[in-house]
């Protein structure tokens, strides 16, 4: 009886071992599959097109690869594109061959063709329909808005294109006070270098804030996630005109640009100009030239001329500004003048706060 029990116990142990081996063999592919899924890198597709701005795609590209993101490039037909500035770039895929991704980056640049291209709009909507995130950079917001996907959402774009985007797409809530706008599955950024901030924000969405902070540190980039640097609020956006050599034809030329500076309340250009005219006559000449440019361009908002080379105007947000032109001789340098063209936010109607010289 004892021998029979021992034999029976050994048989049970053998069967248990066999079952354990079978379970391990069956579970191994499942475990490998789960592990592979967990470690599969995130992928971002970047749209390229003729006229794309280099920093709009290359800035995010560099940030994303430093964040361990698999970045692929795509153009409508997969053919090489020529960027603004003449760089030739060969994308990896076309709209029909590009693999699935976690997000799509839509850069700006010369977008007058691509932003109204039906195939591009269809492709962007298709990627959104697959659950992929979308992020526009700079005036790539126009391309994104043309798909209809921005309707009813907040968005931003290059500081100089805020008003144009509002006019073109009145159903989009276009804001100035953000460098990156996150609507959940759709993101938009300000202009040019803001694409770097957008890419870091995208990394924080895909891989966590810590990874984004690490990438910013490695790239020696002063990332401010709260967007404290907001060019769209700077008075630079109000500087609709400048002084160029063409404005001085026959009377002088610009020696150098001394400064371009300001903040949200004031901005100015300062040049050194060599001219055969005295300061008063040079100011009159530049004044007439700028006034004629405003007339020809039918500039909006309109300018109201006033004595002393001063023009008052109201911007698209209803804020009144004062633009001033000042020309002074540089002591000890015959024929050399300092020319300053600046804008100041008016505190009240009829009251201005002059910019310190």
pTM of the model: 0.78
DSSP string, 222-266: ---TT----GGGSGGGG------GGGGTTTEEEEEEEEEEE-SSE
pLDDT tens for 159-176 read: 999 999 999 999 999 999
∠ Cα 72 75 78 (to 5°): 90
Q: pLDDT at residue 213 above 80?
A: yes
Q: Residue 351's pLDDT is what?
A: 43
Check residue 57 and give left, alpha or beta (phi > 0: left; psi -120 to 50: alpha): alpha
Distance of CA 202 to the CA centre of its chain: 13
Higher pLDDT, 146 or 347: 146
Position 74 confidence tier, pLDDT thresholds 50, 70, 90: very high
Q: pLDDT at residue 13 above 60?
A: no
Task: Convert 114-123 to b/e letters by CB count within 10 Å (16 or more is b).
Answer: bbeeeebbeb
Whole-angstrom distance, CA of residue 230 vs CA of residue 234? 7
Segment 166-189 shows an average pLDDT of 96
Contacts of 47 (CB under 8 A, 6+ apart): 57, 74, 75, 104, 105, 106, 107, 120, 140
Which of the residue ranges 24-38, 54-68, 242-256 would you say has the lowest mean pLDDT?
A: 24-38
Whole-angstrom distance, CA of residue 272 vs CA of residue 19? 89
Query: Which domains are seen in the chain, by residue range?
Result: 40-232 (3.40.50.880), 235-345 (no CATH)
Whole-angstrom distance, CA of residue 81 vs CA of residue 76? 10
pLDDT tens for 234-260 read: 888 888 788 999 999 999 999 999 999
Whole-angstrom distance, CA of residue 239 vs CA of residue 344? 10
Whole-angstrom distance, CA of residue 161 vs CA of residue 158? 5
Query: Which of 7, 16, 24, 138 does the annotation list as catalytic?
Result: 138
Segment 285-303 shows an average pLDDT of 76
pLDDT tens for 38-49 read: 467 899 999 999
- % of the chain with per-residue pLDDT over 70: 83
Is 138 noted as a catalytic residue in this protein? yes
Minimal CA–CA distance to 76: which of 143, 132, 151, 139?
143
Task: Convert 131-149 to b/e letters by CB count within 10 Å (16 or more is b).
Answer: ebbbbbbbbbbbbbbbbeb
Please state, rounded to an integer, the average pLDDT across all residues of the chain.
Answer: 87
Segment 52-57 shows an average pLDDT of 98
Residues linked to residue 274 through DSSP beta bridges, in sequence order? 253, 336
Minimal CA–CA distance to 251: which of 294, 210, 280, 208?
280
Instruction: Provide φ and ψ at 185, rounded to 5°.
Output: -100, -10
Position 354 confidence tier, pLDDT thresholds 50, 70, 90: very low
Q: Residue 68's pLDDT is what?
A: 96
Q: Residue 55's pLDDT is what?
A: 98
CB burial of residue 223 (10 Å; 0-12, 13-18, 19+): middle
């Amino acid at each position: 009886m004892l021998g029979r029990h021992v034999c029976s116990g050994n048989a049970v142990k053998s069967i248990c071992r066999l079952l354990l081996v079978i379970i391990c063999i069956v579970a191994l592919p499942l475990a490998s599959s789960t592990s592979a899924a967990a470690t599969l890198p995130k992928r971002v597709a970047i749209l390229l097109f003729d006229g794309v701005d280099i920093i709009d795609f290359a800035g995010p590209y560099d940030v994303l690869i430093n964040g361990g993101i698999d970045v692929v490039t795509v153009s409508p037909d997969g053919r090489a594109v020529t960027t603004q500035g003449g760089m030739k770039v060969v994308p990896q895929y076309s709209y029909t061959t590009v693999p699935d991704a976690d997000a799509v980056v839509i850069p700006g640049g010369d977008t007058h063709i691509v932003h109204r291209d039906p195939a591009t709009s269809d492709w962007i909507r298709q990627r959104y329909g697959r659950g992929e995130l979308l992020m526009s950079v700079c005036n790539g917001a126009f391309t994104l808005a043309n798909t209809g996907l921005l309707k009813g959402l907040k968005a931003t774009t290059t500081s100089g294109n805020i008003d144009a985007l509002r006019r073109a797409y009145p159903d989009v809530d276009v804001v100035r006070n953000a460098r990156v706008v996150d609507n959940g599955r759709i993101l938009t950024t300000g202009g040019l270098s803001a694409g770097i901030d957008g890419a870091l924000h995208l990394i924080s969405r895909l891989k966590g804030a810590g990874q984004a902070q690490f990438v910013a540190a490695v790239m020696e980039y002063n990332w401010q996630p709260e967007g404290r640097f907001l060019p769209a609020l700077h008075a630079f956006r109000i500087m609709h005109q400048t002084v160029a050599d063409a404005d001085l034809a026959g009377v002088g030329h610009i020696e150098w640009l001394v400064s371009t500076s300001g903040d949200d309340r004031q901005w100015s250009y300062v040049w050194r100009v060599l001219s055969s005219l005295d300061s008063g006559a040079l100011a009159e000449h530049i004044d007439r030239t700028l006034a004629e440019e405003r007339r020809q361009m039918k500039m909006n908002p309109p300018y109201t001329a006033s004595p002393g080379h001063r023009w008052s105007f109201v911007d698209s947000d209803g804020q009144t500004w004062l633009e001033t032109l000042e020309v002074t001789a540089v002591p000890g340098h015959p024929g050399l003048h300092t020319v300053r063209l600046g804008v100041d936010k008016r505190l009240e109607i009829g009251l201005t706060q002059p910019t310190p010289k």
